[in-house]
Structure 1
Amino acid sequence: MTRQNILITGASSGLGKGMAIEFAKMGRNLALCARRVERLEELKTELQAINPDIKIFIRALDVDDHDQVFKVIQAFADDMGQIDRVIVNAGMGKGASVGTGYFYANKQTAITNFVSALAQCEAAMQIFRSQNAGHLVTISSVSAVRGARRAMTVYAASKAALSSLTEGIRIDVMHTPIKVTTIHPGFIRSEINEKVKKVPFIVDTETGCKAMVKAIEKEVANSFVPTWPWAIFRYIARIAPLSWLAKLS
């Protein structure tokens, strides 16, 4: 099944922008939202140059404004007539070790990555239930598999919560035409980690986004991308001692 009309949150940069480019190459219509609307305007021009035959809609959205999340997603549905896929991508990675004075940064990450993701899922699923069709995609992380230290502690916890939330939604609609997918990216270079110098197995944004889009198109329940080494890492990490996990973060 071709999901022609695709909505991506957090689309102004990083993985959201990269996925938009890949879908534009495939001839899909796009609804793109993010806080920085000027970047969305630039991206729209870039996408139209890639494929002038697709329809592109853009709107400003701060996903932490939960009432606005519902309004914007519904407005995109009105624009497109029908939304076939919503990719809940917006997120952040602020924070530090718990108890070191950075509660508000950790709180912001927790809210954006989970509560605001919940708002996006709620808005998307309302539309999909009314259509009795659609594909919900959440962008989690390989860090959701186990806990992590330092700046990754709350980030990993928020992504674990998002993965669990998505699985619950999947169970809830498993006997309907609505599909639900969780993507767990490994280390992909983007704005969220551009200041991090030493990261194992990291790939560039284009390589990572191509792997993500390929997995999304398959509409599997869970996918760890790129496949090497993250499809294997998920199993090793679950039984690894804490001393080993500490070396990864």
Structure 2
Amino acid sequence: MSTFNSLSKTASTFVSPTLLLIGFVSVLPILYIANFYCRYKRYQAATPWSVQNKVVVITGASSGIGEELAYEFARQGAKLILCARRADKLSDVADVCRDKYGATHVAINKVDVTRENDVDRLIETIEASYDKIDCLVLNAGVSMGESLEDIEDFNIIKDIMNVNYYGSTMLTYYALPLLKKAEKPRIVVVSSLASVLPFVPMRTGYAASKCALRGFFESLQTELLKDNIFITIAYPGIVKTEINDSRLGKNPKHLDFNKAMPAEECAKTIVDGTIRADREIVFTHLGKLGKILDGIFPDLLFYFSQNYVLKQISMDKKIQ
């Protein structure tokens, strides 16, 4: 009898996972269709929507992805409000928007998104001139490239959180009344693959800030759907911008910036996704694959990611 019970337990242990796997695979097509239907319903609610004559606010617009976003929105006829800390650089970007891309409405605002007075003043200016915001693009950010134990001052982590997280969330808080005055407005969050696959070392503060952004805006989306405000979170990989030259800490030498995505390509993808009101834009084939694998085989993905990165870092040290 005991032998029979033992065999029964062995059989049930084998059969149960097998049946579960078969059941999961069999419902995959149904789940895919259901997911596509949900995406289509969102698209239906958010469109039609054109960039033409929309009031578009872009932070971090003086360089990199923000600069290229300004050019792409200008090319499609938006009324631009460009924000950054460097007024001279903003002025140059505004000139290109007018002269090269034919923008007729371009305003520049020197804004530090970590300063509440600056943010409050910006919103007052927009309200007086436009009385609404059709699209708020949260792009201002800083990066880092140093291990936690090598950081000499923990204020570096605080600075990253202040710009990347608190800057974007505070501006959103103040901008909500003007967003609600627009028809089917957009909030675009330029995050990073570091918040989807936060495995790369020397990115602790940066990954934390981007993960915080993701959590905040995914939660906020559920609150704002009743107001027909659509949030798109973009997760770029390595993009060719000057943020790579101004990382807080040391730049990891194993990252090949020569193979990075051009900023203009990144910007066009984000604007296209904004028009469609995509819930998220995950960049690169590896990023998409990694996101899927992280949900199914997280430990396996972590293992291979860490081994690859640590090998590259080891090679860097040998070169040094």
TM-score with structure 2 setting the length: 0.71
What does residue 229 of structure 1 align with? Answer: 286
1:48-197 alignment runs, 5 A limit = 48-94=98-144, 96-100=146-150, 101-131=152-182, 133-194=184-245
Unmatched 5+ stretches in structure 2: 1-48, 246-250, 311-320
Structure 2 residue identity aligned to 1:231: K
Unmatched 5+ stretches in structure 1: none
Task: Decide whether the 8 Å contact of 1:63 with 1:112 is kept in 2.
Answer: yes
Identity level (%): 24
What does residue 64 of structure 2 align with? Answer: 14
Task: Decide whether the 8 Å contact of 2:188 with 2:231 is kept in 1.
Answer: yes
Cα 1:229–1:77 change in 2 (3 A) is: farther
Distance 1:165 1:243 in 2: 28
Query: Which of the numbers 240, 244, 249 marks the counterpart of 2:304?
Result: 244
Structure 2 residue identity aligned to 1:56: V
Deviation of the 1:229 alpha carbon = 3.4
Deviation of the 1:196 alpha carbon = 6.0
Instruction: Pick the structure with greater CA Rg.
Output: 2
What does residue 270 of structure 2 align with? Answer: 212
Structure 2 residue identity aligned to 1:104: N
What does residue 39 of structure 1 align with? Answer: 89
Cα 1:86–1:233 change in 2 (3 A) is: same
Structure 2 residue identity aligned to 1:218: R
Task: Decide whether the 8 Å contact of 1:186 with 1:225 is kept in 2.
Answer: yes
Distance 2:113 2:159 in 1: 12
Cα 1:225–1:70 change in 2 (3 A) is: farther
Task: Decide whether the 8 Å contact of 1:237 with 1:245 is kept in 2.
Answer: no
What does residue 22 of structure 2 align with? Answer: none
Query: Which deviations, in whole Å up to 9, do the C-alpha atoms of 1:167-206 show, x marking residues without a partner?
Result: 1110001222211111111221111124666338621112
Task: Decide whether the 8 Å contact of 1:95 with 1:105 is kept in 2.
Answer: no
